[in-house]
A = this chain, B = another copy of it.
Amino acid sequence: MPNGAVAPLFDLGRELGVGFNLGYAEIVREGNRKRRFNTSILVDPAGRIAGKYRKVHLPGHDNHEPDWPFQHLEKAYFEPGDLGFPVFDAYDGRVGMCICNDRRWPETYRVMGLKGLDHLQNFHNLSPCRPAPTRTGPGCWGSRGGREEGCDLIGQSCIIAPTGEIVAMCTTLGDEVVVVVADCDLDRCGEIQRNIFNLALHRQPQHYGIITEVPD
């Protein structure tokens, strides 16, 4: 990245001084092995790749299950990301990414929070993104609208404050270009990180052991 297909996007971002988050299906060839990940990269306003993430929490199933009205075969198409939940120094703060179903798993936010996250970029539908306890910074959340494969998509791209409040949200469900803008004061995260969600002061990790046990 950038390949020929997305080079114009990188060029325009650099020209306008606007960074972006780009999701794509990544193919990795290792000898004869072909690996596929659901990947996103974070591009800074200078057009440099500031960070890369491979989706950890794949929903759905890995084979055709005829009893379901829809086939959600993400576990068949991809393997779980192997990069963990990295955070990156970018945009005058520390930024992490997650993708879609990752938002449902509070481990996602907690791991990044423990790495000093200020800011979260992520994808697709917001409700579980809001609870402050799982986040320590603001988030922006991109979600598709329009109609794909006979399904109406849900929209609701938004920007969420560290308190969990939605400060800006798209209002249409149409398949169109929408822009949501809000000022994000990353210093506000500190109020929360120093007090009610001071992770070092209030967490009791000696009681959390079962969360990281890996089954045989």
Which residues of A approach B to under 8 Å, CB–CB?
Answer: 56-59, 80-81, 84-85, 101, 103-107, 110-111, 114-115, 127-128, 130-134, 164, 196-197, 200, 202-215
Minimum distance in angstroms from A62 CB to a CB of chain B: 10
A203 surroundings in chain B (CB, below 8 A): 57, 105, 107
* Contact present for A206 and B214 (CB under 8 Å): yes
Q: Are B110 and A107 in contact (CB under 8 A)?
A: yes
Q: Please name the residue on chain B nearest to A103 by beta carbon.
A: B133
Q: Are B205 and A212 in contact (CB under 8 A)?
A: yes
Q: Are A202 and B110 in contact (CB under 8 A)?
A: no
B207 and A85: CB pair below 8 A?
yes
Q: Closest residue to A115 on the B side, CB-wise?
A: B210
Chain copies in complex: 2
Evaluate contact between A207 and B59: CB separation under 8 angstroms: no
Complex CA–CA separation, A60 to B81 (angstroms):
38
A211 to B114, CA, bound (A): 8
Tell me whether B207 and A56 are in contact (CB under 8 A). Answer: yes
A207 & B110 in contact (Cβ 8 Å cutoff): no
Cα A210 to Cα B208 with chains together (Å): 11
Residue of A128, A132, A210 contacting most chain B CB atoms (<10 Å): A210
Residue on B with the closest CB to A83? B207
How distant is the Cα of A48 from the Cα of B203 in the complex, in angstroms? 32
Q: Are B56 and A204 in contact (CB under 8 A)?
A: yes
Candidates B80, B106, B115, B130; contact of A110 at CB < 8 Å: B106
A74 to chain B, nearest CB (A): 11
Q: With contacts A106-B106, A127-B131, A131-B128 known, is A57 near B212, CB below 8 A?
A: no
CA distance A131 to B130 in the complex (A): 9
Q: How far is the CA of A106 from the CA of B130 in the complex (A)?
A: 13
